[in-house]
């Protein structure tokens, strides 16, 4: 059993959707868990009508609200060490691929990966994780911030390797058949999902410094 686990996610709620059970189980097993979130998710979709006032184009209130939700999720999962990469609001949610928000000032997608990677490397050298979990190279479903988080996570591990070498890097994946099942339950047409998804196994490898 690993004694230290680091997870790198793009937005608040990604950690619960993708790795909530993993984190809770790790905490219960006595593993020290650190979660790094790269943006506040300012461009997220607001679904409940009662929260419509938080929509991304209204007074920039969605990010702080999601930060509070994230803190509540960390408490519920038992995670005591949660960090916002570079500090709150350092990089902004880029929105879905192809939108103008991808190129907005401070957008995470438009950042040169080495800048946020250096911030992450400082976290790695401090917490010295045995295992790092992040997205696959396609970001799961092609979200630019998920792709960037993957790049930053691996580059951060490279930059920190002189001080601390991570034992394993794992990708958070959704099997294609499970994705198709979930889409079908929502009434989507049958067939392959409209994005590239990992096969039924998750890529994993030992970390090797270049």
Q: Which of 123-132, 170-179, 190-199 has the lowest mean pLDDT?
A: 190-199
Give the pLDDT mean for 106-132: 97
Contacts of 76 (CB under 8 A, 6+ apart): none
pLDDT of residue 189: 58
- The CATH number of the domain covering residues in 4-175: 3.40.50.10320
Write b or e for each residue in 178-204: b if 16 or more Cβ atoms lie within 10 A of its Cβ, otherwise e. Answer: ebbeebeeeeeeeeeeeeebbeeeeee
pTM of the complete model:
0.84
DSSP state of 191: S
Q: What is the pLDDT of residues 130-175, one digit of tens each?
A: 999 999 998 888 899 999 999 999 999 999 999 999 999 999 877 7
Q: What is the pLDDT of residues 46-91, one digit of tens each?
A: 888 998 888 876 678 899 999 999 999 999 999 999 999 999 889 9
Q: Please state the domain extents for the chain.
A: 4-175
């Amino acid at each position: 059993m690993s004694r230290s686990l680091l997870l790198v996610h793009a937005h608040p709620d990604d950690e619960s959707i993708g790795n909530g059970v993993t984190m809770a189980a790790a905490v219960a097993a006595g593993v020290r868990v650190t979660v790094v979130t790269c943006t506040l998710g300012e461009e997220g979709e607001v679904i409940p009508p009662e929260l419509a006032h938080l929509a991304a184009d209204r007074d920039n209130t969605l990010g702080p609200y999601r930060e509070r939700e994230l803190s509540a999720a960390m408490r519920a999962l038992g995670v005591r060490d949660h960090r916002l990469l570079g500090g709150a609001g350092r990089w902004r949610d880029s929105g879905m691929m192809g939108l103008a928000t991808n190129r907005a000032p401070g957008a995470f997608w438009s950042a040169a990966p080495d800048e946020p990677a250096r911030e992450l490397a400082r976290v790695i050298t401090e917490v010295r994780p045995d295992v790092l979990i992040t997205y696959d190279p396609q970001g799961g479903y092609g979200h630019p911030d998920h792709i960037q988080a993957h790049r930053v996570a691996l580059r951060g591990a490279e930059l920190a390797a002189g001080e601390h070498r991570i034992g394993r890097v794992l990708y958070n994946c959704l099997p294609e058949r499970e994705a198709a099942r979930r889409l079908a339950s929502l009434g989507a047409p049958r067939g392959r999902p409209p994005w590239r998804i990992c096969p039924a196994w998750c890529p994993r490898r030992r970390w090797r410094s270049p």
